[in-house]
Amino acid sequence: MNNTPRPGRDDARRPRRLRADGVRSLVSETGLSASDLIAPVFVDATTDERVPIDSMPGHERVPVDDAVARVEEVLATGVEAVMVFGIPEFKDDRGTRAYAETGVVQRAVRQITAETDAYVITDVCLCEYTEHGHCGIVEPGAEEDPHLTVENDESVDLLAATAVSHAEAGADMVAPSASLDGMVGAIRDGLDEGGFRNLPIMSYAAKYESAFYGPFRDAADGAPAFGDRRHYQMDPANAREARREVELDVGEGADVLMVKPALPYLDVVADVRREHDHPVAAYNVSGEYAMLHAAAEKGWLDLDAVAHESLLSIKRAGADLILTYFAEDVAESL
Protein backbone atom coordinates (compact mmCIF):
# COMPACT_ATOMS: atom_id res chain seq x y z
CA MET A 1 0.00 0.00 0.00
CA ASN A 2 1.41 3.34 -1.02
CA ASN A 3 1.14 5.85 1.85
CA THR A 4 2.95 8.58 0.03
CA PRO A 5 0.73 11.68 -0.04
CA ARG A 6 -0.40 12.78 -3.46
CA PRO A 7 1.23 15.99 -4.67
CA GLY A 8 -0.50 19.01 -3.15
CA ARG A 9 -2.32 17.01 -0.48
CA ASP A 10 -1.77 17.71 3.23
CA ASP A 11 -3.06 14.84 5.39
CA ALA A 12 -2.59 16.96 8.51
CA ARG A 13 -5.29 19.35 7.26
CA ARG A 14 -8.56 17.61 6.46
CA PRO A 15 -11.49 19.78 7.62
CA ARG A 16 -13.96 17.15 6.42
CA ARG A 17 -13.01 14.96 9.37
CA LEU A 18 -15.14 17.23 11.57
CA ARG A 19 -18.15 17.34 9.24
CA ALA A 20 -19.28 13.77 9.82
CA ASP A 21 -22.56 13.05 11.57
CA GLY A 22 -22.12 12.98 15.33
CA VAL A 23 -19.11 15.26 15.52
CA ARG A 24 -20.56 17.97 13.28
CA SER A 25 -22.94 19.23 15.99
CA LEU A 26 -20.25 18.94 18.67
CA VAL A 27 -18.02 21.44 16.87
CA SER A 28 -20.79 23.77 15.72
CA GLU A 29 -19.72 27.32 16.57
CA THR A 30 -23.07 29.10 16.67
CA GLY A 31 -26.36 28.10 18.22
CA LEU A 32 -29.83 29.55 17.92
CA SER A 33 -32.48 29.29 20.61
CA ALA A 34 -35.98 30.63 21.15
CA SER A 35 -34.66 32.86 23.94
CA ASP A 36 -32.56 34.74 21.37
CA LEU A 37 -35.67 35.90 19.52
CA ILE A 38 -38.07 38.81 19.91
CA ALA A 39 -41.44 38.70 18.16
CA PRO A 40 -43.07 41.91 16.87
CA VAL A 41 -46.74 42.38 17.77
CA PHE A 42 -48.92 44.98 16.02
CA VAL A 43 -51.82 46.34 18.06
CA ASP A 44 -54.42 48.38 16.20
CA ALA A 45 -56.81 50.72 18.01
CA THR A 46 -58.89 51.24 14.86
CA THR A 47 -60.19 47.68 14.52
CA ASP A 48 -62.18 45.18 16.57
CA GLU A 49 -60.97 42.16 14.63
CA ARG A 50 -57.67 40.79 13.39
CA VAL A 51 -56.50 42.26 10.09
CA PRO A 52 -54.01 40.26 7.97
CA ILE A 53 -50.95 42.15 6.73
CA ASP A 54 -50.85 41.24 3.04
CA SER A 55 -47.18 42.06 2.51
CA MET A 56 -46.13 40.03 5.57
CA PRO A 57 -47.74 36.58 5.30
CA GLY A 58 -48.68 35.07 8.65
CA HIS A 59 -48.82 38.40 10.50
CA GLU A 60 -51.81 40.45 11.56
CA ARG A 61 -52.79 43.64 13.27
CA VAL A 62 -54.76 42.74 16.37
CA PRO A 63 -57.26 44.83 18.35
CA VAL A 64 -56.26 45.96 21.83
CA ASP A 65 -58.56 43.43 23.47
CA ASP A 66 -56.84 40.65 21.54
CA ALA A 67 -53.29 41.68 22.45
CA VAL A 68 -53.05 39.21 25.32
CA ALA A 69 -54.21 36.32 23.16
CA ARG A 70 -51.69 37.29 20.48
CA VAL A 71 -48.84 37.37 22.99
CA GLU A 72 -49.93 34.01 24.42
CA GLU A 73 -49.58 32.58 20.91
CA VAL A 74 -46.01 33.84 20.82
CA LEU A 75 -45.19 32.42 24.25
CA ALA A 76 -46.55 29.01 23.24
CA THR A 77 -43.72 28.70 20.68
CA GLY A 78 -41.02 29.24 23.32
CA VAL A 79 -40.31 32.87 22.42
CA GLU A 80 -40.20 34.86 25.64
CA ALA A 81 -40.07 38.49 24.45
CA VAL A 82 -42.29 40.68 22.31
CA MET A 83 -41.92 44.13 20.78
CA VAL A 84 -45.20 46.05 20.78
CA PHE A 85 -46.01 48.46 17.94
CA GLY A 86 -49.19 50.54 17.91
CA ILE A 87 -51.60 51.94 15.36
CA PRO A 88 -53.57 54.76 17.06
CA GLU A 89 -57.21 55.80 16.89
CA PHE A 90 -56.22 59.02 15.14
CA LYS A 91 -53.11 60.92 14.12
CA ASP A 92 -52.07 64.54 14.35
CA ASP A 93 -49.05 66.71 13.59
CA ARG A 94 -47.44 66.10 17.01
CA GLY A 95 -48.18 62.39 17.44
CA THR A 96 -50.04 63.00 20.68
CA ARG A 97 -51.42 59.46 20.91
CA ALA A 98 -47.85 58.16 21.22
CA TYR A 99 -47.52 59.51 24.76
CA ALA A 100 -51.17 59.53 25.88
CA GLU A 101 -51.98 57.56 29.02
CA THR A 102 -54.83 55.92 27.08
CA GLY A 103 -52.77 55.33 23.93
CA VAL A 104 -52.91 52.04 22.08
CA VAL A 105 -49.50 50.78 23.26
CA GLN A 106 -50.11 51.90 26.83
CA ARG A 107 -53.46 50.05 26.97
CA ALA A 108 -52.05 46.92 25.35
CA VAL A 109 -48.98 46.84 27.61
CA ARG A 110 -51.11 47.09 30.75
CA GLN A 111 -53.12 44.08 29.67
CA ILE A 112 -50.13 42.04 28.46
CA THR A 113 -48.07 42.59 31.61
CA ALA A 114 -51.06 41.90 33.86
CA GLU A 115 -52.04 38.63 32.18
CA THR A 116 -48.85 37.08 30.73
CA ASP A 117 -45.24 36.42 31.67
CA ALA A 118 -43.89 37.92 28.44
CA TYR A 119 -40.94 40.28 28.51
CA VAL A 120 -42.47 43.38 26.96
CA ILE A 121 -40.41 45.81 24.88
CA THR A 122 -42.04 48.85 23.30
CA ASP A 123 -41.11 50.70 20.15
CA VAL A 124 -40.63 54.40 20.90
CA CYS A 125 -41.19 56.52 17.81
CA LEU A 126 -43.73 58.99 16.46
CA CYS A 127 -44.01 57.83 12.84
CA GLU A 128 -47.11 55.68 13.45
CA TYR A 129 -48.77 58.57 15.31
CA THR A 130 -48.11 61.63 13.13
CA GLU A 131 -50.39 62.46 10.22
CA HIS A 132 -47.33 63.12 8.05
CA GLY A 133 -45.64 59.81 8.95
CA HIS A 134 -42.29 61.25 10.01
CA CYS A 135 -40.54 60.25 13.22
CA GLY A 136 -41.03 63.59 14.95
CA ILE A 137 -42.40 67.09 14.55
CA VAL A 138 -41.51 68.43 11.11
CA GLU A 139 -39.99 71.84 10.51
CA PRO A 140 -42.33 74.52 9.11
CA GLY A 141 -42.52 74.26 5.33
CA ALA A 142 -41.08 70.75 5.21
CA GLU A 143 -43.87 69.49 2.99
CA GLU A 144 -42.86 71.90 0.22
CA ASP A 145 -39.12 72.13 0.81
CA PRO A 146 -37.17 68.84 0.48
CA HIS A 147 -34.24 70.37 2.40
CA LEU A 148 -36.30 70.61 5.58
CA THR A 149 -36.96 67.67 7.86
CA VAL A 150 -37.77 66.69 11.44
CA GLU A 151 -37.19 69.26 14.17
CA ASN A 152 -34.77 67.32 16.34
CA ASP A 153 -34.78 68.65 19.90
CA GLU A 154 -38.49 69.24 20.35
CA SER A 155 -39.17 65.78 18.91
CA VAL A 156 -36.69 64.22 21.33
CA ASP A 157 -38.65 65.64 24.25
CA LEU A 158 -41.78 63.90 22.94
CA LEU A 159 -39.89 60.63 22.55
CA ALA A 160 -38.85 60.88 26.20
CA ALA A 161 -42.47 61.47 27.22
CA THR A 162 -43.50 58.44 25.15
CA ALA A 163 -40.90 56.22 26.80
CA VAL A 164 -41.96 57.31 30.27
CA SER A 165 -45.61 56.62 29.45
CA HIS A 166 -44.67 53.11 28.30
CA ALA A 167 -42.73 52.53 31.51
CA GLU A 168 -45.71 53.71 33.56
CA ALA A 169 -47.89 51.22 31.68
CA GLY A 170 -45.54 48.38 32.67
CA ALA A 171 -43.05 47.97 29.81
CA ASP A 172 -39.93 46.00 30.72
CA MET A 173 -37.73 47.79 28.17
CA VAL A 174 -38.11 50.69 25.75
CA ALA A 175 -36.62 50.79 22.26
CA PRO A 176 -36.29 54.24 20.67
CA SER A 177 -36.18 53.96 16.87
CA ALA A 178 -36.50 57.53 15.61
CA SER A 179 -32.81 58.06 14.76
CA LEU A 180 -32.75 61.52 16.31
CA ASP A 181 -29.69 63.04 17.93
CA GLY A 182 -29.70 62.86 21.71
CA MET A 183 -32.81 60.69 21.99
CA VAL A 184 -31.21 58.04 24.21
CA GLY A 185 -29.90 60.58 26.70
CA ALA A 186 -33.23 62.39 26.87
CA ILE A 187 -35.08 59.11 27.40
CA ARG A 188 -32.60 58.00 30.06
CA ASP A 189 -33.08 61.29 31.89
CA GLY A 190 -36.86 61.04 31.61
CA LEU A 191 -36.95 57.48 32.89
CA ASP A 192 -34.63 58.27 35.79
CA GLU A 193 -36.64 61.32 36.79
CA GLY A 194 -39.83 59.27 36.56
CA GLY A 195 -38.54 56.62 38.96
CA PHE A 196 -37.53 54.05 36.33
CA ARG A 197 -33.77 53.96 36.84
CA ASN A 198 -33.63 50.20 36.35
CA LEU A 199 -35.61 50.10 33.13
CA PRO A 200 -33.24 49.41 30.20
CA ILE A 201 -33.07 51.09 26.80
CA MET A 202 -32.50 49.17 23.60
CA SER A 203 -31.44 51.81 21.14
CA TYR A 204 -31.78 51.48 17.38
CA ALA A 205 -28.19 52.69 17.45
CA ALA A 206 -27.30 52.08 13.80
CA LYS A 207 -30.48 52.50 11.77
CA TYR A 208 -30.16 52.87 8.05
CA GLU A 209 -32.45 54.58 5.54
CA SER A 210 -33.23 51.27 3.92
CA ALA A 211 -35.43 50.08 1.07
CA PHE A 212 -36.13 46.93 3.11
CA TYR A 213 -38.73 48.62 5.34
CA GLY A 214 -41.61 48.67 2.85
CA PRO A 215 -43.87 45.93 4.29
CA PHE A 216 -43.49 47.29 7.84
CA ARG A 217 -44.89 50.62 6.72
CA ASP A 218 -47.98 48.74 5.56
CA ALA A 219 -48.15 46.91 8.88
CA ALA A 220 -47.75 49.98 11.09
CA ASP A 221 -49.30 52.54 8.74
CA GLY A 222 -46.18 54.67 9.13
CA ALA A 223 -45.01 55.65 5.65
CA PRO A 224 -44.05 59.32 5.21
CA ALA A 225 -46.79 61.35 3.51
CA PHE A 226 -44.08 63.43 1.82
CA GLY A 227 -40.32 63.27 1.44
CA ASP A 228 -38.24 60.53 3.00
CA ARG A 229 -36.10 59.92 6.09
CA ARG A 230 -32.65 60.42 4.62
CA HIS A 231 -31.99 63.48 6.80
CA TYR A 232 -32.18 61.48 10.02
CA GLN A 233 -31.60 57.82 9.13
CA MET A 234 -28.13 56.69 8.07
CA ASP A 235 -26.74 56.41 4.55
CA PRO A 236 -26.50 52.70 3.59
CA ALA A 237 -23.02 53.41 2.21
CA ASN A 238 -21.57 54.25 5.63
CA ALA A 239 -19.99 51.87 8.13
CA ARG A 240 -17.65 54.23 9.98
CA GLU A 241 -20.59 56.52 10.70
CA ALA A 242 -22.29 53.60 12.41
CA ARG A 243 -19.41 53.36 14.84
CA ARG A 244 -19.84 57.03 15.73
CA GLU A 245 -23.61 56.68 16.13
CA VAL A 246 -23.26 53.63 18.36
CA GLU A 247 -20.58 55.26 20.48
CA LEU A 248 -22.84 58.27 21.06
CA ASP A 249 -25.69 56.04 22.23
CA VAL A 250 -23.37 54.15 24.56
CA GLY A 251 -22.31 57.46 26.07
CA GLU A 252 -25.94 58.48 26.55
CA GLY A 253 -26.82 55.32 28.44
CA ALA A 254 -28.04 52.72 25.94
CA ASP A 255 -28.11 49.24 27.48
CA VAL A 256 -28.61 47.23 24.28
CA LEU A 257 -27.36 48.28 20.84
CA MET A 258 -29.45 47.46 17.78
CA VAL A 259 -28.51 47.39 14.11
CA LYS A 260 -31.33 47.75 11.57
CA PRO A 261 -31.70 46.13 9.04
CA ALA A 262 -29.81 42.92 9.76
CA LEU A 263 -28.86 40.80 6.74
CA PRO A 264 -27.57 43.61 4.48
CA TYR A 265 -25.59 45.00 7.43
CA LEU A 266 -23.91 41.98 8.97
CA ASP A 267 -20.58 43.81 8.70
CA VAL A 268 -22.01 46.51 10.98
CA VAL A 269 -23.36 43.91 13.42
CA ALA A 270 -19.87 42.38 13.56
CA ASP A 271 -18.27 45.80 14.09
CA VAL A 272 -20.59 46.65 16.98
CA ARG A 273 -19.96 43.26 18.57
CA ARG A 274 -16.19 43.72 18.26
CA GLU A 275 -16.10 47.29 19.57
CA HIS A 276 -18.56 47.06 22.49
CA ASP A 277 -19.33 44.67 25.33
CA HIS A 278 -23.01 45.63 25.41
CA PRO A 279 -25.62 43.13 24.25
CA VAL A 280 -26.12 43.52 20.49
CA ALA A 281 -29.50 43.23 18.81
CA ALA A 282 -30.31 43.07 15.12
CA TYR A 283 -33.65 43.69 13.41
CA ASN A 284 -34.40 41.14 10.70
CA VAL A 285 -36.78 43.56 9.02
CA SER A 286 -40.01 43.16 7.09
CA GLY A 287 -38.40 43.26 3.65
CA GLU A 288 -35.99 40.49 4.60
CA TYR A 289 -38.98 38.45 5.74
CA ALA A 290 -41.18 39.24 2.75
CA MET A 291 -38.58 38.47 0.09
CA LEU A 292 -37.95 34.98 1.47
CA HIS A 293 -41.69 34.34 1.58
CA ALA A 294 -42.04 35.55 -2.01
CA ALA A 295 -39.25 33.26 -3.22
CA ALA A 296 -40.70 30.32 -1.29
CA GLU A 297 -44.13 30.92 -2.82
CA LYS A 298 -42.47 30.63 -6.25
CA GLY A 299 -40.94 27.33 -5.17
CA TRP A 300 -37.44 28.73 -5.45
CA LEU A 301 -36.45 28.38 -1.78
CA ASP A 302 -37.26 26.17 1.19
CA LEU A 303 -38.76 28.76 3.55
CA ASP A 304 -38.00 26.98 6.82
CA ALA A 305 -34.41 26.32 5.81
CA VAL A 306 -33.62 29.85 4.63
CA ALA A 307 -35.37 31.42 7.62
CA HIS A 308 -33.24 29.38 10.02
CA GLU A 309 -30.06 30.04 8.04
CA SER A 310 -30.78 33.77 7.94
CA LEU A 311 -31.20 34.03 11.70
CA LEU A 312 -28.17 31.81 12.29
CA SER A 313 -26.05 34.13 10.14
CA ILE A 314 -27.22 37.15 12.15
CA LYS A 315 -26.29 35.36 15.37
CA ARG A 316 -22.94 34.30 13.90
CA ALA A 317 -22.15 37.91 12.99
CA GLY A 318 -22.45 38.81 16.68
CA ALA A 319 -26.06 39.53 17.55
CA ASP A 320 -27.22 38.34 20.95
CA LEU A 321 -30.86 39.19 20.27
CA ILE A 322 -32.80 39.09 17.00
CA LEU A 323 -36.05 40.93 16.42
CA THR A 324 -37.69 38.96 13.62
CA TYR A 325 -41.02 38.13 12.01
CA PHE A 326 -39.76 34.55 11.77
CA ALA A 327 -39.54 34.26 15.57
CA GLU A 328 -42.49 31.94 16.11
CA ASP A 329 -41.92 29.68 13.11
CA VAL A 330 -38.21 29.26 13.77
CA ALA A 331 -38.70 28.78 17.52
CA GLU A 332 -41.13 25.94 16.91
CA SER A 333 -38.58 24.21 14.67
CA LEU A 334 -35.69 24.36 17.15
Confidence of residue 135 (pLDDT cuts 50, 70, 90): confident
CA angle 49, 54, 60 (to 5 degrees): 35
Look up the pTM and report it: 0.91
Residue type, position 59, single letter: H
Tell me: pLDDT of 141 over 90: no
Structural domain contains residue 7: no
> Is 91 part of the annotated catalytic residue set?
no
Q: What are the binding residues for Zn(2+)?
A: 125, 127, 135
Q: What are the binding residues?
A: 125, 127, 135, 217, 229, 245, 286, 325
Percent of the chain with pLDDT over 90: 69
**Domains in the chain, number:** 1
pLDDT tens sequence across 173-221: 999 988 888 999 999 999 999 999 999 999 999 999 988 887 766 665 6
Structural domain contains residue 25: no
Structural domain contains residue 73: yes
Helix locations, 37-134, DSSP H: 67-76, 104-115
Query: Residue 227: what pLDDT?
Result: 47
Mean pLDDT computed over 99-127: 96
Confidence of residue 6 (pLDDT cuts 50, 70, 90): low
Mean pLDDT computed over 246-274: 97
The candidate with the shortest Cα–Cα distance to 326, out of 280, 262, 279, is 262
Structural domain contains residue 3: no
What domain range includes position 85? 31-333
The neighbour count for residue 202, using CB atoms within 10 Å, is: 27
Structural domain contains residue 204: yes
Kindly provide the b/e burial profile for residues 167-194, where b requires at least 16 CB atoms within 10 angstroms of the residue's own CB. Answer: bebebbbbbbbbbbebbbbbbbebbeeb
Tell me: pLDDT of 84 over 60: yes
Q: Is 50 buried (19+), middle (13-18) or exposed (0-12) by CB count in 10 A? A: middle
Choosing from 91, 207, 298, 315, the catalytic residue is 207
The candidate with the shortest Cα–Cα distance to 264, out of 243, 244, 241, 237, is 237
Between CA 231 and CA 179 the distance in angstroms is 10
Tell me: pLDDT of 129 over 70: yes
> How high is the mean pLDDT of the chain?
90
pLDDT tens sequence across 312-327: 999 999 999 999 999 9
- CATH code for the domain in which residue 176 is found: 3.20.20.70
Q: What are the binding residues for 5-aminolevulinate?
A: 217, 229, 286, 325
> Is 207 part of the annotated catalytic residue set?
yes
Structural domain contains residue 10: no
Q: What are the binding residues for Mg(2+)?
A: 245
Structural domain contains residue 198: yes
Rg (CA), the chain: 22
Structural domain contains residue 253: yes
